[in-house]
Amino acid sequence: MATQSIESIPAISRIAEIQQRIKDIQRTFGIKISDNKFQATLEQEMEKIKPLPKVKPIEQFLAENKLPPVNENAEANAQRIATILKSEDKATEAVKIYDSSGIDEKISKSASQIRTENAAPTATEEMIEAAARHYGVESDLVKAIATAESNMNQEARSYVGAIGVMQLMPETAESLGVDPYDERQNIEGGAHYVRQMLDKFNGNLKNAIAAYNAGPGAVQKYGGVPPYSETQNYVGRVLDFYVK
C-alpha cells in the first residue's frame, strides 16, 4: 500500500468535506444535483452564508483603545509595570515605562490620564490627605491605619465602642477635642493621635502603630510591640497596607 504524502492529506480531507456538503445540499433541496447544476447550486448556498465580520488590524485596535503596541519587550514591560503600579507615584512611573518602550507620545499621555483618573481620591482619602498634611504625618501611613481599622468606613463601630474611619474611642476623641461621629473630625483626630504616638516613640514606626492599637502604656511596658497577638497582627497589617 502506497504511503500518502503529508501534502496530500489536507487535499483529501477537503474533498471529503466537499462531498459531504454536496450530500447535505441534495437532502436540503430534495434533488440530485447533476454536474452542470452543481456550480450554480453551490454559489446559491454560499450566498446564504453570512460573511465573517472584518477584524481590525491589531495595531488599530490597540491604538483606539489606548493600549500599548505589541512588541518584543511586551512581557518584560508588563512585568515592570505591574511592579511599578505598587509604588507610590503610580501614574508618573507607569508613563516613564511606557515612554521608554517607544510608545507613541499621544498614547503614553492617554495611559497616564487613564491611570490618574482611576486613582482619583475619594472624599475620605482627600480628608486623610488634608489631615496628614496638617499634622505632618505621611498620608500613606494614615491611610494604612484607616484601612486596617475600618476599611476607611465612617459607619464602622467596634464591639468595644470605637467609632468611625480611625476607630477613635470616645475618651480618646474627647482628649483630642474632636467629634468622632463627624467624619472629618474623626480623621483629624486620628491623624493627630498618630502624630502624638510618633513623637512619643521618637519616630519608631512599629511602636507608634502598636500604640495606636494597644495604647502607649502597653508599648512602654514591654519596650516595644506588646506580645498581644491582636496587636502584633495589627502592626503587620498596617505595615503591609503602608508599603503597598
Query: Does the annotation mark 126 as catalytic?
Result: no
CA–CA dist 175, 115 (Å, integer): 40
Looking at 149, 155, 183, 230, which residue is catalytic?
Answer: 149
Amino acid identity, residue 178?
A: V
CA–CA dist 112, 129 (Å, integer): 22
CA–CA dist 128, 137 (Å, integer): 10
CA–CA dist 81, 94 (Å, integer): 6
CA–CA dist 197, 141 (Å, integer): 13
Residues labelled as active-site residues = 149
